[in-house]
Structure 1
Amino acid sequence: MNRIFSGVQPTGNLHLGNYLGAIRNFVTLQDDYESIFCVVDMHAITVWQNPEELRRHTREVTAAYLAAGIDPTQSIIFNQSQVAAHAELAWIFNCVARIGWLNRMTQFKEKAGKHKENASAGLYVYPNLMAADILVYKATHVPVGEDQKQHLELARDIAQKFNNDFGRDFFPLTEPLILGSATRVMSLRDGTRKMSKSEASDMSRINMTDDADAIAQKVRKAKTDTEAMPGLEALDDSGRVSEAARKARPEAFNLIGIYAALADQSLPDVLSEFAGQPFSGFKKALTDLAVEKLGPIGAEMKRLMANPDHVDAVLRDGGERARALAMPILKEVYDLVGFLRP
């Protein structure tokens, strides 16, 4: 069976974008792949984290995995820092990857901004650690969002160079899995910006722990426009929203995409159902759907967060199973590199 690896950073405020773009897909993938789902706490500290909040957020992501339906007996759930092999392989990859490759990483430029001289070295070599996360398990596939495709391409470059350097077809060239009709969920306040846990306004996102009243308020106040719901004329020949239509009405098509994803419907079906109707009616339908789908998950997350011993036990068991997979692969890497380990 093919093996997948993916992870979510424990930096707080898990939201609808995390659920639709990642966590929900994990649930469906676990039936078809040997699945490893990580809470990537080592990635989180590339920018400073309050230690107590980091621990709480690590448990929160784990609770989200469990509440959404990931089975910890079927899949491996653990936090990254439990498995030292991630950091050990990342150092080797620091010596395999080229500076020019890292200089092309757009996410570092976006996160460091004008202050890149003050950014941590960890943020700069973040993609090498991501490659190690994947390849220390020889994962064959990674479910990724559009914004992570470049990092996965770097992981493939690193695997290829390692294989060439040591004359072995050792690491797989991991393939991306980009799934779902709403892999990129945008802000409820600005349809041109990605929904983000770091945005100041809580009204810009639906948090996974929001209750029914909060979800209803956020959908009701989500930015739209004065026009009626669009119809099939907004789609191009491939059945996707045309660039011109999306550019003209970004907030409208963001909400339509969210509805399609939550309802597991195609965009043509959603547009056919609501075409020409006022947006107020569509928002009511979206509210009901979001409460139905997200309400039970949020309630279960809160229940699990109130029982940290159970969450910690899941992480501890997952860490043991992850180490059992990673350590033989790391040992082979050390032998190939030439490290003497008496």
Structure 2
Amino acid sequence: MGRIPGRLPFFLETFAQSSIKSHGSRIHPERFNSTSNKVPDMKAHQTREVIFSGIQPTGVPHIGNYVGALQNWIRLQELKKEGKKEMDLYYSIVGLHAITLPRDPLQLKKERFEMMCVLLAIGLDPAHCCLFNQDQVPAHSEMAWILNCIAPVGRLNRMTTWKSQIASSKNSNSLSEVDDSMLHLGLLAYPVLQSADILLYKSTQVPVGEDQIQHLELTKVLAKALNKQTKNKNLFPLPQGIYTRQSKILNLRNPTMKMSKSNPSDLTKILITDTPEEIRKKIKSAVTDSIESIRYDPENRPGISNLIDIYQSISGQELEQVQRRFQDKSVVDLKSELIELLIEHFRPFNAEFSRLVNSREDVEKIYLAGSQKAAAVANLTLSQVKKHIGLD
């Protein structure tokens, strides 16, 4: 799949593939004590690029989540560390979004903690980005309500994301099976909460996937409405999308569907915490076809093409390079080399993830500090809005 229409910022266009192998093994909580609690200089904050992105704590990410979102988070952090870009980075675990569909409370608590361990283990460093739990910053809920009061319901009804979320929760690929009786207000208003997440930090750019473009457009509509209502056209910038070239990673057993964490079959997905044995089993059982040669053809050979997409995304090679690599090889060769690539790529991550899961006190200190840092910025924005609408 090609790039989503829209301008890809030059700093992502030219930045080389980052690797967990390079970053993950260097993450230790003691590195975060010096600068992670520092609240941004708000005057400087408003003159720099501000990037916000969130991930739901709905289980350990699979490789589709990793290549579609988390790799970009790492790349942006590296650009900041190397001084190639002046920016403030806000990466949030969005627990309030996770409860728009029914969740087991104990499981959600566990997965919320594990998601923070994942973010640290892949190489995100609170000295260079703000890692926080959305639900620990009450301004998100208050800002969302203010935006709900100006959000056009018709526009929310026309959005497809709530339908796809319900379908995904039922492991269905058909939106036609979803009707309004399955819809709750929280899920319908999910994009408004997402807009609140973005606007609270006066974000200038947001990494978005294909299914989130309509949400970003809603955010712009709401930002314009608030700017007009407050008679301050500069109160909120209109956030632009950071679009990626990454291919969509598909279900290993049914490559007509996206890879999904909610699918009950473990063989359909590769989690980034999978052991070498689990990776071998899943790739070996991945659906391909009866043709022995290898050719990239997503329409007619989705299974083979999906494996090539995974190899390309993890290796960082261009698609043409990967096709040349396997043009004279067999499907067995492709699966074998992909297995080894995945095992080696995620080996340092898994070691660091295991260490962090057993260091709960250190991890809790990190995300509490991040939430305090985020709250300082969010509360200031919220107070500006409340002053303009008469609630100060």
TM-score (norm 1): 0.92
Q: Contact 1:262 / 1:290 at 8 angstroms: preserved in 2?
A: yes
Code of the aligned partner of 1:11: T
* Paired residue type of 1:273: R
Q: Are the aligned partners of 2:283 and 2:339 in contact in 1 as well (CA < 8 Å)?
A: yes
Please list the CA deviations of residues 255-301 of structure 1 after superposition, one character each: whole Å capped at 9, or x if unmatched.
11110111111101111111132111011111111111112212321
What are the equivalent positions in structure 2 for 1:313-332 lying under 5 Å apart?
Answer: 313-332=365-384
Amino acid at match of 1:55: K
The answer to whether residue 227 in structure 2 is matched with residue 175 in structure 1 is: no
Could you give the per-residue CA deviations for residues 19-64 of structure 1, whole angstroms, max 9, x where no partner exists?
1111121011122431111000010011122222111101111111
- The counterpart of 2:206, out of the listed 116, 120, 142, is 142
Residue 78 of structure 1 aligns with an amino acid whose one-letter code is F
Q: Matched residue of 2:70: which SS?
A: helix
What does residue 155 of structure 1 align with? 219
* Deviation of the 1:14 alpha carbon: 1.9
SS in 2 for 1:248: coil
Q: Give the whole-Å Cα distance in 2 for the aligned partners of 1:194 and 1:321.
A: 35
Unaligned ranges ≥5, structure 2? 1-47, 167-176
Of residues 298, 301, 310, the one that matches 2:362 is: 310
Q: Distance in 2 between matches of 1:271 and 1:304?
A: 38
Aligned partner of 1:81 in structure 2 is 135
Q: Which residue of 1 aligns with 2:34?
A: none
Aligned to 2:62: 15
Matches of 1:116 and 1:310 in 2, distance apart?
44
Equivalence for 2:98: 44
| Alignment-mate amino acid for residue 4 of structure 1 | I
8 A contact 1:14–1:197 mirrored in 2: yes
Residue 57 of structure 1 is matched in structure 2 by 111
Hey, what's the Cα distance between the residues in 1 that align with 2:165 and 2:206? 23
Q: CA deviation at 1:180?
A: 4.2
* Secondary structure of 1:192's aligned partner: coil
Question: Could you tell me whether the CA contact under 8 Å between 2:91 and 2:130 is conserved in 1?
Answer: yes
Which structure's residues are more often helix, by fraction?
Answer: 1
The residue aligned with 2:389 is 337
- Equivalent position SS for 2:101: coil
Is the contact made by 1:181 and 1:266 (CA closer than 8 Å) also made in structure 2? no
Check whether the contact 2:204–2:239 (CA below 8 A) recurs between aligned residues: yes
Structure 1: tracts of 5 or more residues without a match? 235-244
Q: Which amino acid is the alignment partner of residue 89 of structure 2? A: S
Does 2:162 correspond to 1:108?
Answer: yes
Question: C-alpha distance in 2, partners of 1:327/1:223?
Answer: 50
Counterpart for residue 76 of structure 2: 29
Q: Per-residue deviation at 1:167?
A: 2.4
1:102 Cα offset (Å): 0.3
TM-superposed CA distance for 1:229, in Å, is: 4.3
Q: Secondary structure at the match of 1:292?
A: helix
Conserved 8 A contact 2:279-2:342:
yes
Q: What amino acid is aligned across from residue 77 of structure 1 in structure 2?
A: L
**Is 1:202–2:254 an aligned residue pair?**
no
Q: Does 1:218 align with 2:282?
A: yes
Q: Distance in 2 between matches of 1:228 and 1:275?
A: 11
User: 2:347 pairs with 295, 299, 303, which one?
Assistant: 295
Aligned positions of 1:179-190 closer than 5 A: 179-182=244-247, 184-190=248-254
Cα deviation for residue 206 of structure 1 reads 0.6
Cα shift at 1:165: 2.8
How big is the shift at 1:118?
4.1
Give the Cα separation in 2 of the matches to 1:89 and 1:166: 15
Moved more, 263-272 or 148-157: 148-157
Distance 1:51 1:333 in 2: 33
Task: Report the alpha carbon displacement of residue 226 of structure 1 after superposing the two structures with TM.
Answer: 2.2
User: Aligned-pair distance for 1:214?
Assistant: 0.8
Against the structure 1 CA distance between its residues 226 and 322, is the aligned structure 2 distance closer, same or farther, given a 3 Å change threshold?
Answer: same
SS in 1 for 2:253: coil
**Conserved in 2, the CA contact under 8 Å of 1:102 and 1:125?**
yes
Q: Which letter maps to 2:56?
A: Q
Please report the TM-score for the alignment, with normalisation by the length of structure 2.
0.80
How many residues are paired up? 327
Residue 151 (structure 1) shift? 1.1
Work out the CA distance in 2 between the residues paired with 1:92 and 1:50. 29
